[in-house]
């Protein structure tokens, strides 16, 4: 159930598949006889120097992929010198991650109907010294995810014949989970009035995503958060302009990994158009379909300043915990470094459309 939570999209998964496949249409411009020594992948993102233009996306229930998963992913990101983003719907809480790491991380916020809880959640992110707040805009209503429905996905999982069969097939996972710090939504449980057990938590969560969210609510958040603000879920250049007007410091071109509007275009196919519209006014970040360092390079060439990975690090986390996340990041780093060199670049901040053999998405 947890692998399928990460590995599939909504409805037919056509957008999820397009996110990956559309990268194949992009071809590099190979250059030769250039000095490829002294290469650097260092960049400054939102005023923070990081070791490569990559961050870990916010992923829900990582703590059920692997015991204390969010803490381990944050530690891996810290060790590799890149940002980690903690999801509102994480198993380990903001405080859990802050207590087990030594550098600031980013916090992702879902806008919910309970504004009192939102107020407290933003304050908790401040108290934990989170260096950026990421507001996800594309989950006002939940996309239908067939595998999650079939698996009765919950945190912690329901006990029925289906889940028992899955548990029996993964005895090591079961034993390891007995050592986990938490098994439910750590940012919510114990922090919401009248949510005292798993039943009340489930009913509260199901009713909380706010379909009335508008750009005016970004102002409400801005009044409470004076730090760096990232808006995630931008797929249209007009929405990108509205994000600039709302006072965001960065946008993320994202379709929620193909887990919301099935039939939407891939993120890579709309990146250059959005970047050209607003890149001199705001940082343009990119999420969706990245599976390699070459994909990172392609997104940077089409206008992204920073990229994000979700599934690649979750696969590593589920397989080997912190070590698996570090291995995934090492693979991406090496692929990005070597591919950049073969395109004739030594400084990743200078990568651009000139490193591609044209833009297949140019209208």
Catalytic center residues: 256
The residues that bridge with 108 in the sheet, in sequence order, are 134
Burial of 39 (0-12, 13-18, 19+ CB in 10 A): middle
The phi and psi torsions of 55 (rounded to 5 degrees) equal -135, 160
DSSP symbol at 133: E
Chain mean position to CA 105:
13
The residues that bridge with 134 in the sheet, in sequence order, are 108, 230
What span, in angstroms and rounded, lies between the C-alpha atoms of 338 and 280?
Answer: 29
CA distances to 52, 94, 294, 348 from 344, in Å: 18, 42, 14, 11
Burial 246-278 (b: 16+ CB within 10 A, else e): bebbbbbbbbbbbbbbbebbbbbbbbbbbbebb
User: How many residues are present in the chain?
Assistant: 363
Query: What is the three-state SS of 234-271?
Result: ECCHHHHHHHHHCCCCEEEECCHHHCCCCCCCCHHHHH
Nearest to 287 by CA among 28, 278, 274, 157: 274
What span, in angstroms and rounded, lies between the C-alpha atoms of 230 and 9?
Answer: 23
What span, in angstroms and rounded, lies between the C-alpha atoms of 303 and 208?
Answer: 35
Measured over the CA atoms of residue 112, residue 78, residue 332 and residue 251, the dihedral's sign is positive
Burial of 334 (0-12, 13-18, 19+ CB in 10 A): exposed
């Amino acid at each position: 159930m947890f692998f399928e939570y990460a590995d599939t999209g909504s409805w037919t998964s056509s957008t999820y598949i397009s996110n990956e496949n559309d990268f194949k249409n992009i071809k590099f411009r190979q250059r030769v006889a250039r000095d490829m020594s002294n290469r650097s992948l260092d960049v400054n993102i939102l005023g923070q120097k990081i070791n490569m233009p990559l961050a870990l996306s916010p992923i829900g229930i990582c703590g059920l992929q692997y015991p204390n998963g969010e803490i381990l992913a944050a530690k891996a990101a810290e060790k590799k010198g890149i940002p980690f983003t903690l999801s509102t719907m994480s198993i380990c809480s903001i405080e859990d991650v802050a207590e087990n790491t030594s550098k600031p991380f980013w916090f992702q916020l879902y806008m919910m109907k309970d504004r009192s809880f939102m107020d407290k959640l933003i304050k908790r992110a401040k108290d934990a010294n989170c260096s950026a707040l990421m507001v996800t805009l594309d989950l006002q209503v939940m996309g239908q995810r067939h595998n999650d429905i079939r698996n009765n996905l919950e945190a912690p999982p329901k006990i029925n014949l289906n889940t028992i069969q899955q548990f029996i097939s993964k005895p090591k996972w079961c034993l390891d989970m007995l050592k986990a710090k938490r098994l439910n939504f750590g940012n919510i449980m114990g922090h919401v009035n009248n949510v005292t057990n798993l039943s009340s938590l489930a009913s509260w969560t199901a009713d909380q995503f706010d379909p009335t969210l508008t750009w005016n609510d970004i102002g409400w958040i801005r009044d409470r958060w004076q730090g760096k603000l990232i808006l995630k879920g931008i797929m249209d250049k007009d929405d990108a302009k509205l994000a600039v007007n709302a006072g965001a410091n960065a946008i993320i071109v994202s379709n929620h990994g193909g887990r919301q509007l099935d039939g939407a275009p891939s993120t890579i196919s709309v990146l250059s158009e959005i970047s050209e519209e607003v890149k001199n006014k705001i940082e343009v970040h990119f999420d969706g379909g990245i599976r390699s360092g070459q994909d990172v390079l392609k997104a940077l060439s089409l206008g992204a300043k920073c990229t994000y990975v979700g599934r690649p690090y979750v696969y590593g986390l589920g397989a080997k915990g912190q070590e698996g996340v570090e291995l995934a990041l090492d693979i991406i780093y090496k692929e990005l470094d070597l591919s950049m060199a073969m395109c004739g670049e030594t400084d990743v901040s200078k990568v651009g459309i000139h490193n591609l053999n044209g833009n297949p998405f140019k209208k």
